[in-house]
Structures are given as structure tokens and as C-alpha cells.
């Protein structure tokens, strides 16, 4: 056993093959799991390292160019203020554990992505967004401070008032400004564990965009899109609006225990499905069934928090559905003025290619100004595809359409984009790379993604 009192004990890294949640691409890297700040510093000093949380970034953003520093032992919640909802925690804390600890006490994450199996450090690095970005912005709006291990091993606390540029560039900086060690985040007060959901079936993309704009006052909004529909039904959707249910809105059987929800049996995908199971025919059948089921649930209902925010988490290992080769996710953001035309072009290209995605999600973004975070005022579309030659070609076409419409790409989902595409889509990339050079951050902090994208 290592000596826990030795802050510079060097844990011997093990050569491993790692990938993101999409299981593509896979890279060799030295993997270490330090238990002390000194051990992290030792890894950083050897260079070309990146921190890794729970491995839920889809591509290679959390795979080190030389070595990967697992933060799994930095998983402690340190303090909580019941009056303000401020939680101080280590970067390796899983979001689901935060919910388990504080939802029964009337607190919920102010912003959450589509899975609860992410770490707080990963949420900061990606500046995750949720179904409420149009109203509340991204996760970065709810961070009070971050403690960061820099290239010289110094632990710095950064906030909007101290080391403010480092603070802003760390949020959404994909782990390339240092190793996030601790943070203080703000949770939101809620009166129950239930969501008042309004389901709206919509016949095409135009109707979906019109419904999003009409629902601008809703706290949460997200749409599932049938990406294989064509013609007058192109972009037919199920829009799901949501509000945290108040105690007064609960039925008599729920109001006595407002934070208790039915226990669910988790389903598991026990093995990789054969290649070709997710063909345009099976996806078309799934989409038709999913739309029909959603249309039958049209109107308002109470659903539990887990069902509304994290439907895919109910299936453990769902990434194995795509087979041994894995899958890629395409996610872009388009400016508000070009969103109708751009979204139509993206959906037409996907439908014509017959490369259907059964995880096609549309969300509305509000305004956001930041050094390198993903969101912009407009719409974001996410599509999943199994890895094969046809979908790799389609991804290039979707990249081109996004560029033509002034859009940009989500690095937490990227697994195959070229440096040229990134820098054409986002002028901030060159500025971020220059900042890393000026602060001596490029040599110590490198992921496979940052190498590929010239960051």
C-alpha cells in the first residue's frame, strides 16, 4: 500500500487502452489513479496529461496524450450550506451522488446534462448545458469557485473575483488549463422530486420550432426528433416541457413524501449487439413506435425526476447497443437566425443517408458569452450513429452543413472532427490555443482530442 502521508508518492501508471462513452476512438495511454495532491502534481510534471472523471465524454477529450489521471479517489463532498445551497466538493464526485444526498433535503442541480453519471470536474470542463439553458444558462453560471492544480504544481483558487481569466477559461476548457481538484457549486431549491411534464406531439420541424418559441417561459424544454421522417413530416417531434412540481401540485398520496419516487429496476445491455442491428429499418420502426407512444401521452402529467432528466440512465451499458466498434455523436449549435434552414439541411442529409439515429435531441439555447464554452443563442441538435464507413462520410457532410450555417461543435461529444473544421467553425479556438501557449499549459496538459484539434 502507498504511504498516504507522502504527498509526492508516485503511483506507477499502467498502460491501458481507453476511450470515451462512445467507445470510439480507442487510444493507448498511461493510466494513474493518484490519492493525493502531490501524486497528481507528479503526474502533471511528467507532461502531456489530462484528468479523467467517470469517462462519460463521448470521444477522446478525457484520454491523455501520454498519461491519464483518474480522479476517482477525489470523490468527497466536503460541506453544504442549507441556507444558500452551496456545495463544496471534490472534482471526482458523481452528479448522481449529489442528487441522492441533497434531493431528499429539497435541493437539485441547477443545471444537469442528460446523464447523472458524470463528475463535477467533467461538468465544469465541458461547461455542460441542460434542458433549461434558454432560461438559466450553462453550469458555469452556478460555480462560485474552482481549485486547480497548475503546470507548476501550485494549487490556485479561481473565481469571478480572483484569477478570473483562469476561472473563465477553465469553464468549458476541456481540462486543458489544469487539473480541477475542488469546486463550490450552487444547487436550486425544489419542493418535490416530481416534474410537471407537458408532452406535445408535433408534425414537423416548423411546428417544433414554433412550439419551442411559444414555450420560452418554460423552465425545461427538450424535443426528441424522428430523424428518418421525410417530406411534410421532416423533423416530426415530441416536445417535453417541464417544471419542478410544488407541494400544492402533488396528489394526496405523493404530498406526504414529496421526495420519494418509485424504485426502478435497472435494465442492462449485457453484451455488444451485432453490427447492423441498428439499421435504417430497425431505427425507423423504433421511431414510429416511440412517436406513437409519446403522442398517446400528450398533455400534462407528473413524472419523477429520473424519468424526465435521465431516461437513458435506466439502461446500464446502453452504449453497447451500437456494437463492438462503438458510436459517434454529432452535436452542433446553430445561430438563431440560421437554425430553421440549418436544421432542415441536417435532418434531410441524415434521412437521405438512411443513417437513422434513435437518439436525436433538439434543445433551445439562450444567450451566452464565454471564452470557449459550446452554447450560443439558437438551437442545438444531437444525433448518434454507429461507427461505419457510411456514417463517417455522413459526419463530414453534417460538419459541412454546420459550417455553412455559422454553427459550432460540442467538444464533449466530438470524436472525429478535424482541426481545420474546428478552427473554421469557432474563431475562439485559436485564441484559446494562444492562451495555453502563453501560460505554459500546452506541454503539461494534453488530451488526444487537443492534439487532434491543435489546441
pLDDT in tens, 144-154: 999 999 999 99
The reply to whether 278 and 147 lie within a common domain is: no
In a domain, 83, yes or no: yes
In a domain, 153, yes or no: yes
Q: What is the mean pLDDT of the chain?
A: 94
Q: Show which of 161, 191, 221 is a domain's final residue.
A: 191
Average pLDDT of the residues in 281-298: 87
Q: Show which of 191, 212, 227 is a domain's final residue.
A: 191
Separation of CA 105 from chain center: 26
The reply to whether 207 and 183 lie within a common domain is: no
**Sequential DSSP letters for 229-241:** --GGGTT-EEEEE
Q: Is residue 287's pLDDT more than 90?
A: no
Number of domains in the chain: 2
Q: Is residue 10's pLDDT more than 70?
A: no
The reply to whether 213 and 105 lie within a common domain is: no
Cell output for 60: 477522446
Q: Is residue 1's pLDDT more than 70?
A: no
What CATH number is attached to the domain comprising 184? 3.30.465.10
Q: Collect all residues with Cβ–Cβ distance below 8 Å to 110 and sequence separation of at least 6.
A: 136, 139, 141, 142, 185, 186, 187, 188
The reply to whether 151 and 293 lie within a common domain is: no
The reply to whether 147 and 199 lie within a common domain is: no
Q: Is residue 9's pLDDT more than 60?
A: no
Burial letters 390-425, b for 16+ CB under 10 A, else e: ebeebbeebbebbbebbbbbbbbbbbbbeeebbbeb
Rounded to 5 degrees, φ, ψ at 254 are -95, -30
Separation CA 241–CA 216 (nearest Å): 10
Separation CA 135–CA 111 (nearest Å): 11
Looking at the chain, the whole-number percentage of residues with pLDDT higher than 90 is 86
In a domain, 455, yes or no: no
What CATH number is attached to the domain comprising 306? 3.30.70.2520
Average pLDDT of the residues in 100-106: 98
In a domain, 18, yes or no: no
Range of the domain at 121: 77-191
Q: How many CA atoms lie within 13 A of 332 on its CB side?
A: 29
The reply to whether 229 and 273 lie within a common domain is: yes
Cell output for 150: 497548475
Q: Show which of 191, 211, 242 is a domain's final residue.
A: 191
Q: Is residue 6's pLDDT more than 50?
A: no
Note the residue count of the chain.
Answer: 455
The reply to whether 260 and 165 lie within a common domain is: no
The reply to whether 164 and 205 lie within a common domain is: no
Q: What is the pLDDT of residues 125-141, one digit of tens each?
A: 999 999 999 999 999 99
Does the model's pTM come out above 0.85?
A: yes
The reply to whether 215 and 140 lie within a common domain is: no
Q: What is the DSSP letter of 313?
A: G
The reply to whether 204 and 105 lie within a common domain is: no
Yes or no: say if 363 and 331 are a contact pair by the CB < 8 Å rule: no
The reply to whether 262 and 171 lie within a common domain is: no
The reply to whether 99 and 231 lie within a common domain is: no
Residue of 290 and 200 predicted with greater confidence: 200
Q: What is the pLDDT of residues 28-51, one digit of tens each?
A: 999 999 999 999 999 999 999 999
Amino acid at each position: 500500500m502507498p504511504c498516504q502521508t507522502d504527498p509526492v508518492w508516485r503511483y506507477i501508471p499502467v498502460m491501458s487502452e481507453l476511450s470515451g462513452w462512445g467507445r470510439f476512438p480507442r487510444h493507448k495511454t498511461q493510466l494513474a489513479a493518484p490519492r493525493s495532491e502531490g501524486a497528481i502534481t507528479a503526474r502533471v510534471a511528467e507532461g502531456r496529461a489530462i484528468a479523467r472523471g467517470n469517462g462519460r465524454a463521448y470521444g477522446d477529450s478525457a484520454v491523455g496524450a501520454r498519461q491519464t489521471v483518474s480522479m476517482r479517489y477525489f470523490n468527497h463532498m466536503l460541506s453544504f450550506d442549507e441556507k444558500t445551497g452551496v456545495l463544496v466538493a471534490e472534482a471526482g464526485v458523481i452528479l448522481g451522488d449529489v442528487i441522492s444526498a441533497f434531493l431528499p433535503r429539497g435541493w437539485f442541480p441547477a443545471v444537469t446534462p442528460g446523464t447523472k453519471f458524470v463528475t463535477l470536474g467533467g461538468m465544469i470542463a465541458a461547461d455542460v448545458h441542460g434542458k433549461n439553458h434558454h432560461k438559466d444558462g450553462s453550469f458555469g453560471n452556478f460555480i462560485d469557485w474552482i481549485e486547480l492544480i497548475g503546470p507548476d504544481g501550485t494549487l490556485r483558487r479561481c473565481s469571478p473575483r480572483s484569477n478570473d481569466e483562469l476561472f473563465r477559461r477553465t469553464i468549458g476548457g476541456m481540462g486543458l488549463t489544469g487539473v480541477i481538484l475542488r469546486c463550490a457549486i450552487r444547487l436550486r431549491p425544489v419542493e418535490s422530486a416530481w416534474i410537471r411534464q407537458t408532452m406535445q406531439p408535433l408534425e414537423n420541424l416548423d411546428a417544433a420550432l414554433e412550439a419551442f418559441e411559444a414555450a420560452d417561459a418554460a423552465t425545461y424544454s427538450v424535443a426528441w426528433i424522428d430523424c428518418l421522417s421525410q417530406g411534410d413530416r421532416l423533423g416530426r417531434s415530441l416536445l417535453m416541457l417541464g417544471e419542478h412540481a410544488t407541494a400544492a401540485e402533488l396528489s394526496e398520496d405523493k404530498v406526504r413524501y414529496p421526495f420519494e419516487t418509485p424504485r426502478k429496476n435497472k435494465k442492462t445491455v449485457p453484451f455488444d449487439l451485432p453490427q447492423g442491428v441498428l439499421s435504417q429499418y430497425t431505427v425507423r420502426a423504433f421511431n414510429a413506435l416511440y412517436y406513437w407512444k409519446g403522442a398517446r401521452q400528450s398533455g400534462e402529467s407528473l413524472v419523477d425526476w429520473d424519468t424526465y432528466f435521465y431516461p437513458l440512465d435506466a439502461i446500464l451499458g446502453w452504449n453497447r447497443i451500437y456494437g463492438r466498434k462503438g458510436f459517434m455523436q454529432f452535436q452542433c449549435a446553430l445561430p438563431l437566425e440560421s437554425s430553421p434552414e440549418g436544421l432542415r439541411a441536417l435532418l434531410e442529409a441524415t434521412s437521405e443517408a438512411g443513417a437513422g439515429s434513435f437518439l436525436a435531441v433538439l434543445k433551445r439555447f439562450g444567450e451566452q458569452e464565454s471564452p470557449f464554452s459550446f452554447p450560443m443563442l439558437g438551437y442545438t441538435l444531437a444525433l448518434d450513429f454507429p461507427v461505419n464507413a457510411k456514417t463517417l462520410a455522413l459526419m463530414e457532410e453534417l460538419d459541412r452543413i454546420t459550417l455553412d450555417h455559422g454553427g459550432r461543435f460540442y467538444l464533449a461529444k466530438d470524436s472525429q472532427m478535424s482541426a481545420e473544421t474546428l478552427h473554421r467553425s469557432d474563431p475562439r479556438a485559436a485564441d484559446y490555443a494562444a492562451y495555453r501557449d502563453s501560460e505554459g499549459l500546452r506541454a503539461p496538459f494534453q488530451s488526444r482530442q487537443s492534439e487532434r484539434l491543435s489546441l
